[in-house]
Amino acid sequence: MIEAVVFDMDGVLIDSEHVWDEVRERLAAERGGRWSERAQRDMMGMSSPEWSRYMHETVGLAERPQEINRIVVERMLERYADGPPLLDGAVAAVERLAAEWRLAIASSSNRELIDAVLAATPLGPLFELTVSSEEVARGKPAPDVYLEAARRLGVEPVRCAAIEDSHNGIRAAKAAGMRTLAIPNPRFPPGADALAEADLVLASLDELTADAVRASR
């Protein structure tokens, strides 16, 4: 029986994966980095220590990872200044599930960005707690952020459902032992192997209902 639902944030609740991509690619161009087509896919789901190190070591930025992280987060907050880009149906979907279960967020975003999104939208009061992957040892596809969300909720991972959009996110939720519902990101679709791991694949947030969570076996 499901006792709690854990949401990813980027790509599930806000249309931000491409914003991350644009901000990091522009920074790489400004600083003479070696951007490649695989960089976005590689970094999707990484924690901030992981992707900032990737930007330093693989993309080739001279700045230390901590400084790269600071610049990117600052620019992301600037992009959110007029309001985070909520996905259509996000608030309604969360409200539907909040009527049935306790909710948490397990996100690869930095703590500042998670807090900014929740403070600027109607989503904040609907979530009991949030976890950033910078607060655990490893980012997605490792299960750490999902396991930590379950630990803080006091709920066994097998009694949690996870809502994900990305390749690494789906793999992380499944590795944590959670029932996983995938809503594929059309800009950066997960691979067929990750989708095959999901317990249920939905076309949009409009299909994310309590019945869908209960049916995802």
| Long-range Cβ contact pairs of 113-122 (< 8 A, separation 24 or more) | 113/73, 113/76, 113/77, 113/80, 114/9, 116/77, 116/80, 116/84, 117/9, 117/13, 117/14, 117/80, 117/84, 120/80, 120/83, 120/84, 121/83, 121/84, 121/86, 121/91, 122/91
Best CA proximity match to 176, nearest among 154, 161, 191, 196: 161
Name the token pair of 186: 């059309």
Active site residue 144: no
Name the token pair of 197: 């791991």
What is the 3-class SS of 54-80, one letter each residue? HHHHCCCCCCCHHHHHHHHHHHHHHHC
8 Å CB contact between 85 and 14: yes
User: What's phi and psi for 158, nearest 5 deg?
Assistant: -70, -15
Best CA proximity match to 53, nearest among 67, 40, 41: 67
Active site residue 8: yes
**Residue positions annotated with a catalytic role:** 8, 10
